[in-house]
Amino acid sequence: MAQVIFAGIDVSASKLDLVCIDENGKQLSPSTSFSNNAEGANALVDALVSLATKSNVSQLNLGLEATSIFSIPLRDFLLDAPQLKPYSVQVYEINPSLVSGFKKAFGSRLPKTDALDAYIIAERLRFGHLTPYSREVSVTAPLRQLTRLRLHLVELLVDEKN
């Protein structure tokens, strides 16, 4: 029986692909797709709760690829979902370059599918050595964006002067 569920979620503009594995790397259910909207996010949470109940686990590790602006609403939704409160939930935003590099370990001839990407995200999460997302990061995020904007504007000004 699984102790932890590692869920890989491949986020795109129109859909969310979910693959769940246990701590041994065994896929617990077939890959599932949900629309990337409120109804799809609720269905994804319901699927996670159903699987957690069926597998009798208390810990859910959820990994999403940090895909532009598409993963931010889902990340916040998963952190605040009341259905997930009975479980110990950790949400990880994984840099796409980490996922891409990890995928190379599985072979160079793998196809580019969303379900496979979700599986690779779940495996990367199971592999470990990642830091979960915390609310403290969201406090400094606007300042980080303003700092990056200022640097960009300074670089543009230097280019124009030259």
- Nearest Cα neighbor of 93 from 116, 70, 119 is 70
Query: What is the percent of the chain with per-residue pLDDT over 90, rounded to a whole number?
Result: 57
Give 93's Cβ-side CA count (13 Å radius): 18
For the segment 7-23, the average pLDDT, to the nearest whole number, is 92
- Please check whether residue 29 is in contact with residue 8, taking contact to mean a CB–CB distance below 8 angstroms: no
Structure tokens that stand for 158 in this block: 């230097």
The pLDDT, as a whole number, for residue 116 is 86
Q: Are 96 and 71 in contact (CB under 8 A)?
A: no
CA–CA dist 8, 64 (Å, integer) = 6
User: What is d(CA 157, CA 162) in angstroms, rounded to the nearest whole number?
Assistant: 9
Given a cut of 60, is residue 1 above it in pLDDT? Answer: no
Residue 140, beta-bridge partner list = none
Going by pLDDT thresholds of 50, 70 and 90, the confidence category of residue 89 is very high
Element (H, E) at 29: none
Residue 6: what pLDDT?
A: 96
Tokens of 43: 């269905």
pLDDT (mean) for 12-19? 91
Could you tell me how many residues make up the chain? 162
Query: Confidence class of residue 49 from pLDDT cuts 50, 70 and 90?
Result: very high
Q: Taking 70 as the threshold, does the pLDDT of residue 117 lie above it?
A: yes
Quick one: 4-131 is in which CATH superfamily?
A: YqgF/RNase H-like domain (3.30.420.140)
Q: How confident is the model at residue 2 (pLDDT cuts 50, 70, 90)?
A: low
Q: Which residue has the higher pLDDT, 115 or 9?
A: 9
pLDDT at 16 over 80: yes
The tokens for 107 are 């072979």
Cβ–Cβ < 8 Å for 10, 117: yes
Question: How do beta strands 32-35 and 4-11 pair?
Answer: unpaired
73's CB contacts (< 8 A; 6+ apart) are 41
Global confidence as pTM: 0.80
Residue 111 is predicted with a pLDDT of 72
* Domain residue ranges in the chain: 4-131, 135-162
Of the chain, the percentage scoring pLDDT greater than 70 comes to 97
Q: Flag whether pLDDT at 96 surpasses 90.
A: no
